């Protein structure tokens, strides 16, 4: 059993691949072995979460996820705990493994009840796993709501019930984010839905148990990538060794966004950072950050530079985009640059030809910007974030950073997309996206490959937030930029 953290590197498998792994493993092992192992793993984790529990509510559903719950209840009873099982299904239609585990729970003396216990110290959600096909309703929805509103910890078996393990989406009206502590133990494969969209909130802390079946492989759909490699600076280096970044943005009233991106690029280790402001009346220097070389955006020669374009760009950025797209040696496109491209077919064609020519290019849309670029709704993007990121990457031939809970980084078709595991809700504040764009710009200026530059910056950006002390003042975008590691 392994706890999954932002340092974990592993492949992610969709439901179809997980089914294939399960069938191959089940065929190679004696009957019922997988469910016995899964139930034992659940029981062990339950005992670790609630070692003094008097009552553990085990809510079991109609399929093999429920079977894992019966098996866990049997194992817990053997160890002196008092599980109370509520079963929502038809015993005569249980799959064979689950039927055998139900009998084992009965033989162990587990209590069965029609309604959840009035008091309990831990709830085990074994209602639905990867076989969830429709939104929970009726009694199942009531039990889920009760479980998550009770204030007691919830341990989800395989996946939080109702969560789409491929996409991380929860059905409308199912809120699984209120329980005091949420833990999920997942089996045989790590599923992408646990790590993006609503999955992270619903699953909480994720544990993985391969049930002794690591030999059974299949085709992954994505990966979590762990901490990126450090790029130590050599002693015999100078500012020219680390490249130039030119931030293009800061239209009237929005200079701050460009300065934040510039600050992040500077602290991220770029050799020199120019900030090309779109507001002609902007101040000629930022006295708080005199290292930033402020220029009129229209005068900057971008050949040989990494451009970070769009932060606070307003509508003014549109007129510069043809030149930025054609001349920047490497490019990060953010915010208003993406909005401008979304409404301009000629710019889209230019981005596509730039991407296909192999010039390093990273785009950093949040879901609404991604929706505008794809010509769909935010709901469509969030319904399958991996697919949306892959689609954008394929259309324009660029590296895509689709921001949001479980940021997705997608690139060329032959590169497995990454779901990033760092970051938390403290990043949901103005300017943090500008900082991320600047950080990616610094990594590109240091000639790191575009996918790796994006992955590294996204990881570090979230890691700064994750390690920000809980009792410190709120993390602002300015502080985030200044803490960017070189």
Ligand X SMILES: NC(=O)C1=CN([C@@H]2O[C@H](COP(=O)(O)OP(=O)(O)OC[C@H]3O[C@@H](n4cnc5c(N)ncnc54)[C@H](O)[C@@H]3O)[C@@H](O)[C@H]2O)[C@@H](O)CC1
**Residue 132 touching ligand X (CB under 6 A):** yes
**Residue 364 touching K ion (CB under 5 A):** no
Do residues 406 and 195 lie in contact, with contact meaning Cβ atoms separated by under 8 Å? yes
We find the least distance from the C-beta atom of residue 96 to ligand X, in angstroms, to be 9
Residues whose CB falls within 8 Å of the CB of residue 123, separated by 6 or more in sequence, listed in order: 56, 57, 58, 59, 116, 147, 150, 152, 153, 154, 155, 179
Nearest Cα residue to 457 out of 473, 437, 476, 479? 437
Binding at 279: pick from K ion, ligand X, none (beta carbon under 5-8 Å per type): none
Nearest Cα residue to 206 out of 194, 217, 198? 194
**Residue 355 touching ligand X (CB under 6 A):** no
Q: Let me know if 368 is exposed, middle or buried by CB neighbors in 10 A (0-12, 13-18, 19+).
A: middle
Pick 67 or 256: Cβ nearer K ion: 67
Q: What is the DSSP string of 180-249?
A: SSEEEEEESSB-GGGTSTTHHHHH-EEEEE-TT-TT-----SEEEE-SPPP-PPPSS--GGGG-EEEEEE
H-helix or E-strand spanning residue 296: strand 293-296
Q: Indicate which single residue of 49, 56, 60, 61 sits in contact with ligand X (rule: CB under 6 A).
A: 61
Strand partners of residue 322: none
State how far the Cα of 113 lies from the Cα of 83, in Å rounded to an integer: 10
Residues whose CB falls within 8 Å of the CB of residue 103, separated by 6 or more in sequence, listed in order: none
Pick 75 or 460: Cβ nearer ligand X: 75
**Residue 202 touching ligand X (CB under 6 A):** no
**Residue 125 touching K ion (CB under 5 A):** yes
* β-strand pairing of 83-87 with 111-113: parallel
We find the least distance from the C-beta atom of residue 105 to ligand X, in angstroms, to be 15
Pick 194 or 389: Cβ nearer K ion: 194
Which among 123-131, 201-209, 275-283, 394-402 is the span making contact with ligand X, rule CB under 6 A? 123-131
**Residue 210 touching K ion (CB under 5 A):** no
**Residue 75 touching K ion (CB under 5 A):** no
Residue 345's alpha-carbon distances to 287, 338, 339, in angstroms, are 40, 12, 12
If one counts every other C-beta atom within 10 angstroms of the C-beta of residue 161, the result is 26
Q: Indicate which single residue of 21, 26, 225, 392 sits in contact with ligand X (rule: CB under 6 A).
A: 26
Pick 65 or 339: Cβ nearer K ion: 65
Pick 158 or 369: Cβ nearer ligand X: 158
We find the least distance from the C-beta atom of residue 159 to ligand X, in angstroms, to be 6
Residues whose CB falls within 8 Å of the CB of residue 127, separated by 6 or more in sequence, listed in order: 59, 60, 61, 65, 66, 88, 136, 140, 143, 144, 161, 162
State how far the Cα of 68 lies from the Cα of 40, in Å rounded to an integer: 9
Angle in degrees, 0-180, between the axes of helices 33-49 and 15-28, rounded to the nearest 10: 110
Check residue 120 and report its DSSP letter.
Answer: -
Pick 72 or 477: Cβ nearer ligand X: 72
Which among 56-64, 242-250, 438-446, 473-481 is the span making contact with ligand X, rule CB under 6 A? 56-64
Interface characters, 146-185, with ligand X (x: CB under 6 A): -----------xx---------------------------
Binding at 95: pick from ligand X, K ion, none (beta carbon under 5-8 Å per type): ligand X
State how far the Cα of 85 lies from the Cα of 75, in Å rounded to an integer: 13
Pick 38 or 311: Cβ nearer ligand X: 38
**Residue 70 touching ligand X (CB under 6 A):** no
We find the least distance from the C-beta atom of residue 64 to ligand X, in angstroms, to be 3
We find the least distance from the C-beta atom of residue 417 to ligand X, in angstroms, to be 23
Pick 187 or 451: Cβ nearer ligand X: 187
Binding at 244: pick from ligand X, K ion, none (beta carbon under 5-8 Å per type): none
* β-strand pairing of 2-3 with 205-209: antiparallel
Q: Indicate which single residue of 18, 161, 359, 407 sits in contact with K ion (rule: CB under 5 A).
A: 161
Binding at 61: pick from ligand X, K ion, none (beta carbon under 5-8 Å per type): ligand X
Query: Site for ligand X (CB under 6 A): how many residues?
Result: 28
Which among 134-142, 415-423, 433-441, 457-465 is the span making contact with ligand X, rule CB under 6 A? 134-142
Binding at 125: pick from ligand X, K ion, none (beta carbon under 5-8 Å per type): K ion
Residue 213's alpha-carbon distances to 9, 100, 485, in angstroms, are 18, 21, 39
Query: Site for K ion (CB under 5 A): how many residues?
Result: 4
Q: List interacting residues with K ion (CB under 5 A).
A: 125, 156-157, 161
Q: List interacting residues with ligand X (CB under 6 A).
A: 22, 26, 34-35, 38, 61-66, 68, 95, 97, 128-136, 140, 157-158, 187-188
């Amino acid at each position: 059993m392994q706890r999954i953290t932002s340092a974990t590197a592993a492949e992610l498998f969709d439901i179809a691949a997980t089914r294939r792994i399960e069938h191959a493993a089940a065929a190679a092992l004696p009957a019922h072995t997988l469910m016995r192992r899964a139930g034992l793993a659940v029981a062990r984790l339950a005992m670790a979460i609630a070692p003094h529990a008097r009552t553990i509510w085990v809510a079991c559903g109609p399929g093999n996820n429920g079977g894992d719950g019966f098996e866990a209840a049997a194992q817990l009873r053997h160890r002196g705990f008092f599980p109370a099982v509520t079963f929502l299904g038809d015993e005569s239609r249980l799959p064979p493994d689950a039927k055998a585990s139900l009998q084992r729970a009965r033989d162990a003396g587990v209590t069965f009840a029609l309604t959840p216990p009035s008091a309990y110290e831990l709830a085990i959600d074994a209602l639905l796993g990867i076989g969830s096909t429709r939104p929970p309703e009726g009694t199942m929805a009531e039990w889920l709501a009760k479980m998550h509103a009770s204030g007691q910890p919830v341990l989800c078996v395989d996946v939080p019930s109702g969560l789409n393990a491929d996409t991380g989406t929860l059905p409308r009206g199912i809120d699984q984010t209120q329980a005091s502590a949420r833990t999920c133990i997942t089996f045989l494969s790590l599923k992408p839905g646990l790590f993006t969209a609503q999955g992270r909130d619903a699953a909480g802390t994720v544990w993985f148990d391969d049930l002794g079946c690591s030999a059974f492989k299949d085709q992954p759909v994505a990966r979590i990538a762990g901490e990126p490699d450090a790029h130590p600076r050599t002693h015999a280096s100078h500012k020219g060794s680390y490249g130039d970044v030119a931030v293009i943005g800061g239209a009237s009233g929005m200079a701050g966004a460009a300065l934040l991106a510039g600050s992040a690029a500077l602290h991220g280790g770029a050799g020199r950072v120019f900030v090309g402001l779109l507001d002609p009346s902007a101040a000629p220097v930022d006295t708080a950050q005199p290292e930033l070389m402020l220029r009129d955006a229209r005068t900057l020669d971008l050949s040989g530079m990494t451009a970070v374009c769009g932060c606070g760009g307003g509508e003014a950025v549109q007129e510069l985009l043809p030149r930025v797209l054609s001349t920047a040696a490497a490019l990060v496109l953010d915010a208003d640059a993406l909005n401008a491209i979304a409404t301009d077919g000629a710019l889209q064609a230019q981005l596509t030809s730039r991407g296909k020519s192999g010039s390093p290019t990273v785009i950093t849309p949040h879901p609404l910007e991604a929706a505008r670029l794809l010509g769909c709704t935010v709901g469509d993007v969030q319904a399958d974030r991996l697919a949306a990121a892959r689609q954008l990457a394929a259309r324009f031939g660029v590296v895509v950073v689709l921001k949001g809970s479980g940021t997705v980084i997608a690139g060329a078709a032959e590169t497995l997309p990454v779901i990033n595991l760092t970051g938390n809700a403290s990043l949901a504040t103005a300017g943090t996206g500008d900082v991320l764009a600047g950080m990616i710009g610094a990594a590109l200026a240091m000639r790191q490959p575009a996918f790796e530059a994006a992955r590294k910056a996204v990881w570090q950006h979230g890691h700064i937030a994750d390690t920000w002390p809980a009792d410190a003042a709120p993390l602002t975008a300015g502080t985030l930029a200044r803490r960017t590691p070189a």
